[in-house]
Amino acid sequence: MGPDDGGAAWCYGQAVKVSLPVVESRSAVYEPLAPRPAGFAVDGVPPLVDRQGRRYTYLRLSVTDRCDLACVYCMPPGGEDDHAVRRELLSFEEAARLIRVFGACGVRRVRFTGGEPLVRKDVVELVRLVRDTTDVAERVMTTNATRLRHLAGPLRAAGLDGVNISLDSLEPARFRRLTRGGELADVLAGLRAALDVGLDVKLNTVLLRGDTDDEVERLVDFAWDAGVTPRFIELMPLGEGAKLPRSARVTAAEVLARLRHKLAPAATHQGAGASSAPRGPARYHAAADGSGRRVGFITPMSDEFCGSCNRVRVTARGDIRACLASRRALSLRDLMRGGASDLDLAWALHWSLTGKADGHFFVDGQVHEHEHVGMSLIGG
């Protein structure tokens, strides 16, 4: 990919307006792409930096909108009613090509997600393709781990660096109810297999008040005993989560209060380790015993972290979504299938960030923007 335009260098200050119609679907609002301006990439493909100065280095790529579970806060019973059919999904070659373009724009880390990424047939081959044909430095996955027992080894061999495993309960019957049919034993076997093959593992938990919030300490002890970091994610009013009562939401402060005796009070920091730069929205509290163990908190509701957002999402259908909380989208798949060059795609990535808001709006009265947009459809 190289510059092919003359003229002055392009910048976000150049207002770009197009008069094509906006197309709206249940889960997305497609705004037309403005023509690539003269001057874009004249000095090389610019890094993805938005108007607010936020730099995007992290791509969450959904590989399917389907799942073998149906967690009560995520997926309707029986699944979503508009799952993508095969030809609507990005092919592995299309996904790898996009990742190369993201890489040229400065993205260094890719997370495969879904839906449940492990239900996508041959997903191991996608991981291998991304390792072999792109220059992203880190490939990780978020999974419910039901199929990880047998796939951890092949994924590791194909170049996966780590997994975040979702685990909301250690009670088999409760787990089955919350996931509408999941078997806790499968997940625990998947976790063990991931550790055995040397994947970096974290556990992610979404708590529900009056349901799983009594398992906070047990989940932390379990994770620490397994040698992994537990993280608590606040429930967001997205998709099925928007239908749950506000009272179901448990704030990070409440969880922290329950763990006060285990955690050093002033040891909050961001990122993968004390010395590394922030890599995501999680804040970590170190164990009070000085063992180096940690608990993570992801606080989209109580402590908005949008100012340091470094991530962009691509759905299984190939829509780029600059913000989880907005339905604004652009179909990169249609651009590719319409003959777009890599430079056109790079422009599309930049353009999709031009309208990104400063922060999200998970507030009452504006739930309409989110309630149709479940995490499994966007890529959680």
Residues that bind ligand SAM (CB under 6 A): 67, 73-74, 113-114, 116, 142-144, 166, 204, 206, 233, 235-236, 238, 241, 375-376, 380
Segment near ligand SF4 (CB under 6 A), from 71-79, 120-128, 227-235, 336-344?
71-79
Q: How far apart are CA 213 and CA 234, in angstroms?
A: 12
Per CB under 6 A, 205 contacts ligand SF4 = no
Task: Tell me how far apart the terminal alpha carbons of the chain are, to the nearest angstrom.
Answer: 30
Q: How far is the CB of 297 from ligand SAM (least distance, A)?
A: 13
Site membership for ligand SF4, residue 70 (CB under 6 A): yes
Q: Pick what 348 binds: ligand SF4, ligand SAM, none; C-beta below 5 to 8 Å, kind-dependent.
A: none
From the CB of 219, what's the least distance to ligand SF4, in Å?
A: 16
Q: Which of 37, 46, 103, 114 binds ligand SF4 (CB under 6 A)?
A: 114
Binding ligand SF4 (rule: CB under 6 A), the pick from 62, 134, 164, 166 is 166
Neighbours of 156 (CB within 10 A): 20
Q: Kindly state the smallest distance separating residue 301's Cβ from ligand SF4, in Å.
A: 17
- The helix/strand/coil state of 140 is strand
- Please report the DSSP string for 213-225 in residue order: GGGHHHHHHHHHH
Residue (142 or 331) nearer to ligand SF4, CB: 142
Per CB under 6 A, does 75 bind ligand SF4? Answer: yes
**∠ at Cα 68 (233, 311), nearest 5°?**
40
Question: Which of ligand SAM, ligand SF4, none sits in contact with 230, Cβ below 5 to 8 A by type?
Answer: none
d(CA 115, CA 380): 8
Cα 108 to Cα 26, 284, 297, 309, 348, distances in angstroms? 32, 22, 23, 15, 18
Contacted by 70, from ligand SAM, ligand SF4, none: CB < 5 to 8 Å by type: ligand SF4
Nearer to ligand SF4, 74 or 110 (CB): 74
Query: Which one of ligand SAM, ligand SF4, none is in contact with 299 (Cβ closer than 5 to 8 A by kind)?
Result: none
Alpha-carbon distance 318 to 333, whole Å?
Answer: 5
Residues contacting ligand SF4: total by CB under 6 A: 13
Residue ranges with strand state E in the chain: 23-24, 29-30, 58-62, 109-113, 138-143, 162-166, 200-206, 229-233, 263-270, 283-287, 294-298, 311-314, 319-321, 328-331
Residues forming beta bridges with residue 164, ordered by sequence position? 142, 202
Token readout for 86 is 């095969």
**Least separation, in Å, of the C-beta of 248 and ligand SAM?**
10
d(CA 151, CA 134): 22
Interface with ligand SF4 (CB under 6 A), residue from 67, 126, 216, 242: 67
What are 128's two structure tokens? 């291998």
Contact assessment for residue 193 and residue 148, using Cβ atoms and an 8 Å cutoff:
yes
Q: Which of 61, 71, 194, 346 binds ligand SF4 (CB under 6 A)?
A: 71
User: Rounded CA gap, 343 and 340, in Å?
Assistant: 8
Does 312 help bind ligand SF4 (rule: CB under 6 A)?
no
Which residue stretch of 43-51, 66-74, 149-157, 271-279 sits at the interface with ligand SF4 (rule: CB under 6 A)? 66-74
- Residue 84 binds ligand SF4 (CB under 6 A): no
Q: Is the dihedral of CA 295, 300, 303, 307 positive or negative?
A: positive
Asked if 169 touches ligand SF4 (CB under 6 A), the answer is: no
Q: How far apart are CA 18 and CA 233, in angstroms?
A: 39
Q: Which one of 116, 234, 319, 369 is in contact with ligand SF4 (CB under 6 A)?
A: 116
* Residues from 221 through 280 that contact ligand SF4 (CB under 6 A): none
Q: Which residues bind ligand SF4 (CB under 6 A)?
A: 67, 69-71, 74-75, 114-116, 144, 166, 375-376
